Protein backbone atom coordinates (compact mmCIF):
# COMPACT_ATOMS: atom_id res chain seq x y z
CA UNK A 1 0.00 0.00 0.00
CA UNK A 2 2.80 2.38 0.92
CA UNK A 3 4.69 1.61 -2.31
CA UNK A 4 1.55 2.26 -4.36
CA UNK A 5 0.98 5.64 -2.70
CA UNK A 6 4.58 6.64 -3.26
CA UNK A 7 4.44 5.51 -6.91
CA UNK A 8 1.24 7.50 -7.47
CA UNK A 9 2.53 10.69 -5.85
CA UNK A 10 5.94 10.60 -7.57
CA UNK A 11 4.42 9.74 -10.97
CA UNK A 12 1.79 12.50 -10.68
CA UNK A 13 4.51 15.04 -9.88
CA UNK A 14 6.68 13.86 -12.79
CA UNK A 15 3.76 13.90 -15.26
CA UNK A 16 2.66 17.36 -14.11
CA UNK A 17 6.19 18.76 -14.27
CA UNK A 18 6.79 17.27 -17.74
CA UNK A 19 3.55 18.80 -18.96
CA UNK A 20 4.25 22.21 -17.47
CA UNK A 21 7.85 22.26 -18.69
CA UNK A 22 6.80 21.53 -22.28
CA UNK A 23 4.12 24.23 -22.07
CA UNK A 24 6.61 26.79 -20.72
CA UNK A 25 9.02 25.94 -23.53
CA UNK A 26 6.15 26.25 -26.00
CA UNK A 27 5.19 29.63 -24.57
CA UNK A 28 8.71 31.04 -24.79
CA UNK A 29 9.96 29.51 -28.03
CA UNK A 30 6.90 28.58 -30.06
CA UNK A 31 4.38 31.34 -29.31
CA UNK A 32 6.45 34.03 -31.07
CA UNK A 33 6.73 32.00 -34.27
CA UNK A 34 3.31 30.25 -33.98
CA UNK A 35 4.36 27.00 -35.70
CA UNK A 36 7.34 24.98 -36.83
CA UNK A 37 7.55 21.75 -38.75
CA UNK A 38 9.28 18.90 -36.93
CA UNK A 39 8.64 16.16 -39.50
CA UNK A 40 7.16 17.66 -42.70
CA UNK A 41 3.56 16.56 -43.35
CA UNK A 42 3.66 14.42 -40.18
CA UNK A 43 4.29 16.52 -37.07
CA UNK A 44 4.37 20.23 -36.38
CA UNK A 45 4.61 22.14 -33.14
CA UNK A 46 1.87 24.77 -33.32
CA UNK A 47 1.13 27.15 -30.44
CA UNK A 48 -2.59 27.20 -29.57
CA UNK A 49 -4.41 28.83 -26.66
CA UNK A 50 -7.22 26.35 -25.99
CA UNK A 51 -10.03 28.01 -24.03
CA UNK A 52 -12.27 24.95 -24.21
CA UNK A 53 -12.19 21.45 -22.82
CA UNK A 54 -10.68 18.47 -24.58
CA UNK A 55 -9.68 19.37 -28.14
CA UNK A 56 -11.15 22.87 -27.81
CA UNK A 57 -14.75 21.76 -27.37
CA UNK A 58 -17.18 23.75 -25.21
CA UNK A 59 -15.03 26.89 -24.93
CA UNK A 60 -17.80 28.84 -23.21
CA UNK A 61 -18.18 26.31 -20.38
CA UNK A 62 -14.71 26.50 -18.80
CA UNK A 63 -15.94 26.49 -15.19
CA UNK A 64 -18.03 23.37 -15.68
CA UNK A 65 -14.97 21.46 -16.86
CA UNK A 66 -12.83 22.88 -14.07
CA UNK A 67 -15.32 21.59 -11.49
CA UNK A 68 -15.72 18.20 -13.21
CA UNK A 69 -11.95 17.81 -13.58
CA UNK A 70 -11.42 18.67 -9.92
CA UNK A 71 -14.03 16.12 -8.83
CA UNK A 72 -12.48 13.39 -11.00
CA UNK A 73 -8.94 14.15 -9.80
CA UNK A 74 -10.02 14.10 -6.15
CA UNK A 75 -12.08 10.92 -6.58
CA UNK A 76 -9.22 9.07 -8.29
CA UNK A 77 -6.68 10.28 -5.71
CA UNK A 78 -8.91 9.23 -2.82
CA UNK A 79 -9.45 5.85 -4.45
CA UNK A 80 -5.71 5.29 -4.92
CA UNK A 81 -4.76 6.59 -1.46
CA UNK A 82 -7.46 4.72 0.48
CA UNK A 83 -7.92 1.47 -1.44
CA UNK A 84 -5.01 -0.65 -2.55
CA UNK A 85 -5.71 -1.58 -6.13
CA UNK A 86 -4.73 -5.13 -7.05
CA UNK A 87 -4.15 -3.99 -10.61
CA UNK A 88 -0.95 -2.17 -11.54
CA UNK A 89 -2.59 -1.39 -14.87
CA UNK A 90 -5.54 0.37 -13.22
CA UNK A 91 -3.25 2.21 -10.79
CA UNK A 92 -1.09 3.39 -13.69
CA UNK A 93 -4.14 4.47 -15.70
CA UNK A 94 -5.60 6.49 -12.82
CA UNK A 95 -2.19 8.02 -12.08
CA UNK A 96 -1.78 9.15 -15.69
CA UNK A 97 -5.25 10.70 -15.71
CA UNK A 98 -4.58 12.53 -12.43
CA UNK A 99 -1.21 13.89 -13.60
CA UNK A 100 -2.58 15.02 -16.95
CA UNK A 101 -5.68 16.49 -15.31
CA UNK A 102 -3.58 18.50 -12.87
CA UNK A 103 -1.31 19.71 -15.68
CA UNK A 104 -4.24 21.10 -17.67
CA UNK A 105 -5.94 22.42 -14.53
CA UNK A 106 -2.86 24.49 -13.71
CA UNK A 107 -3.23 26.15 -17.12
CA UNK A 108 -6.98 26.72 -16.81
CA UNK A 109 -6.69 28.29 -13.38
CA UNK A 110 -3.43 30.19 -13.93
CA UNK A 111 -3.81 31.35 -17.52
CA UNK A 112 -7.50 30.97 -18.30
CA UNK A 113 -6.61 28.65 -21.18
CA UNK A 114 -4.60 25.50 -21.87
CA UNK A 115 -1.48 25.62 -24.00
CA UNK A 116 -1.57 23.04 -26.80
CA UNK A 117 1.26 22.53 -29.26
CA UNK A 118 1.46 18.96 -30.63
CA UNK A 119 0.02 19.13 -34.14
CA UNK A 120 -0.21 15.79 -35.95
CA UNK A 121 -0.45 16.60 -39.65
CA UNK A 122 -0.94 13.20 -41.27
CA UNK A 123 -4.32 12.93 -39.54
CA UNK A 124 -6.88 15.71 -39.45
CA UNK A 125 -6.84 16.11 -35.67
CA UNK A 126 -6.77 18.77 -33.00
CA UNK A 127 -3.63 20.28 -31.53
CA UNK A 128 -2.97 18.81 -28.07
CA UNK A 129 -0.35 18.68 -25.29
CA UNK A 130 1.54 16.29 -23.02
CA UNK A 131 -1.22 16.28 -20.38
CA UNK A 132 -3.76 15.31 -23.04
CA UNK A 133 -1.50 12.41 -24.04
CA UNK A 134 -1.38 11.10 -20.49
CA UNK A 135 -5.15 11.45 -19.99
CA UNK A 136 -5.86 9.71 -23.31
CA UNK A 137 -3.41 6.87 -22.69
CA UNK A 138 -4.77 6.51 -19.14
CA UNK A 139 -8.31 6.17 -20.50
CA UNK A 140 -7.08 3.62 -23.03
CA UNK A 141 -5.47 1.62 -20.21
CA UNK A 142 -8.79 1.64 -18.33
CA UNK A 143 -10.50 0.19 -21.41
CA UNK A 144 -7.74 -2.43 -21.66
CA UNK A 145 -8.15 -3.24 -17.95
CA UNK A 146 -11.91 -3.65 -18.36
CA UNK A 147 -11.46 -5.92 -21.39
CA UNK A 148 -8.91 -8.10 -19.62
CA UNK A 149 -11.03 -8.22 -16.47
CA UNK A 150 -14.12 -9.19 -18.48
CA UNK A 151 -12.26 -11.98 -20.26
CA UNK A 152 -10.95 -13.28 -16.91
CA UNK A 153 -14.46 -13.22 -15.44
CA UNK A 154 -15.92 -15.09 -18.41
CA UNK A 155 -13.17 -17.71 -18.28
CA UNK A 156 -13.64 -18.13 -14.53
CA UNK A 157 -17.42 -18.44 -14.93
CA UNK A 158 -17.13 -20.98 -17.74
CA UNK A 159 -14.60 -23.07 -15.87
Catalytic sites, residue numbers: 116, 132
Q: Using the 8-state DSSP alphabet, how is residue 128 labeled?
A: B
Nearest C-alpha neighbor of 114 from the set 122, 102, 123: 102
- Rounded to an integer, what is the distance from CA 70 to the centroid of its chain? 13
Report CA torsion sign: 13, 119, 136, 140.
Answer: negative
As a whole number of angstroms, the distance between CA 129 and CA 73 comes to 18
The HSE-up count of residue 61 (CA atoms within 13 Å, CB side) is 10
Amino acid sequence: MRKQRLFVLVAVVIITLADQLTKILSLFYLAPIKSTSIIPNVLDFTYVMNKGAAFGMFANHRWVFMVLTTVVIIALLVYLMVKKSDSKLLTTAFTMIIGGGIGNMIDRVGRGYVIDFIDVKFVNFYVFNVADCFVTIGCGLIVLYLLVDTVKSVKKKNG
